[in-house]
Structure 1
Amino acid sequence: MIFSMNKQRLSLSVFFFLAGFNFASWASRIPTIAGALQLNEAELGSILLTMPISSLIGLPISGWLVTRFDSRIPLTTAFMVNGVALSLIGLAFSSFYLVGALFLFSLTMRIFNIAINTQAIALQKKLNRKINGSFHGLWSLGGIVGVGLTTLLVSLRIPIIPHLLSVSILSLLATVVASRFLLRNDRATAGNKLTLGKPDPAILYLGLLVFFAALCEGGMFDWSGIYFQQVVKEDVFTAGYLIFMSFMALSRFVSDRIVEKIGMPKTYVLSSILIFTGVSLSILLPSFWPAMIGFSLVGFGTASVIPMTYTLAGASTKYSPGVTLSIIVTYGIIGMLIGPPLIGYLAHAFSLRLSFILFALAGVMLIPISKLFFKLKTQPVPGE
């Protein structure tokens, strides 16, 4: 039994790592794509709007799939198609083609994201200990490796096409191998139907926490490279993205212990303070080392929010984990829908430097919303 769960945890770890690796491979190449297609900030922001729109379309599909089948089926199928979509992004020769590739990439990413987190919550319950933070840490570690590889390839002037094609092939091969050991028979038998009516306050607050976390985290993914390229004036523009991802991964590997030590309510407050401080430092002192320190604080601050919130969502008594995740991830997609494009429009109207104030405000909002959630909950919550 223990050996079987260890294999399940290892195979699921592979998917979390590759999910971060693939996403970072795309996100860290955004400046390359923007330069090749000669896109300004507003045009890039409009194209990035494709991803959250596609994710929003994918939500009801993913929610239905994880209640209709074992979660490993939509996970592996979507992951393989996502790898193909990544190679199509590298081959994009026009804005129209890029929008189509990003639509498919984001749609499949949404499907496997719901499935992979459904698997993680189910395995966490079987093991009866907190492991969700470490899974998300592997996602961030995959992101570090992805952006680190991109940094090396950019410095060696390796084109984007062979880069993303190689990542796609690796993703497909790993899926074939790791999919055999995923958790089986995890389809929920109850709580799979949504009921119309007044929104559940607890789920609403969890959704808002994910909204602001996604606004900040997604915006940093898409714009940190551009910020270092245009504001900090660094030729190796991936440095900011790399330090952000590195500290996010570091925090996620220790976040489960931090939560056990100080509890979830205080961890939300700590995350908020770190995000605000880091963004403010980067705006006030937009030179290399202050920006690097600032981005590291933002990475450390954002890291715990989504894993904590997903864990709380998995404890819902109203809906199954898959359905609850689908609901609160909707808020996250809206955050991603608003954040990256809004940064592009604000940067075009004012400056990229001033537009990052949006991330600081998103970080601040974590405090009052988390306090409302824990005030509402009368039953014990994980990590308190």
Structure 2
Amino acid sequence: MSLEPTLQMFKDLTEAPGAPGHEQNVRNIMRKWILPFSHEVYQDNIGSLVAKKVGNQNGPKVMVAGHLDEIGFMITHITDDGFLRFQTLGGWWEQVMLAQRVSVLTSKGEIEGVIGSKPPHILSAEARKKAVDKKEMFIDIGATSREEAETFGVRPGDTVVPICPFTVMKNPKMLMAKAWDNRIGCAIAIEVLKRLKDEGHPNEVYGVGTVQEEVGLRGAQTSAHVVQPDIAFAVDVGIAGDTPGVKPDEALAKMGKGPQLLIYDASMIGHKDLRDFVVNVAEENDIPFQYDYVPGGGTDAGKMHLTGNGVPSLAIGIATRYIHSHAAILHRDDFENAVNLLVEVIKKLDEQTVKQIIG
């Protein structure tokens, strides 16, 4: 059954493999979707995608960035018995890793495997209570020796990503996939340029897909250096606080209640005057939003706001369940409202307004 265009875009983006440093597959897909709405599309030298749409070529530069990469793994070596040892790429919690299916991207194509685990029958009562250390884990691809694994095309440096098909759930507003972190940000950047295609706006808009966010916000630094924005928005996933066991003060946002405006994270304090401007636009247009903070994480805005002489920046999040695991869930309304908000904000960001925000 064919999907409507937005869902097809979600499927294309989320199912593509793109561990940090190996984002080319996702970049090609984002390029395909954003190109029809851009005046120019190019890359920085480490692979971040930049799509430029001109409203007023003498106006301010507004950057809207999602990151292309997803958390994954990198093969470090092959054992004599054909098992694959690996290094994590991005933040993984051991309890969501064991016995999960993965795809190994080799020189000869993708190979499916599983992160091996011992059955509980042979574990001591004490061992069952403890999480297995990542350093002790391995990937089983069905090879019986190092030589056989090598004939499959496996080499050290190959990357590995989770397997989880894009799924529209029984409630069609609920969408499950791997890599929502942060293909939803890439989708929002695409959709913002699409909505602006036949709209006037007093600025230049740059829809950006950055690389290597999960390992240090690296592509945000290089792409912002290329763009030299006057205003920047990082669009990423946020933590959903609406599942059992999450305390209200641990995560404020709920799915379906609008995009999150991050007042603080470990990489940046959200620019107050820019945030106030965005809030005013949201309230004028009856667009729902939520405040949130993430003391233990950061977004691409953490690097973007330090570009040049400094860039007023704001991180906008989409409340998402089960991030940094094999399967995550988000709400389509939050995507739509994030796009609506950014479009209305961009239409008002003229030169005078930007000067007032900078102060």
Q: TM-score, normalised on structure 2?
A: 0.25
Q: Which has the higher helix share?
A: 1
Q: Which has the higher strand share?
A: 2
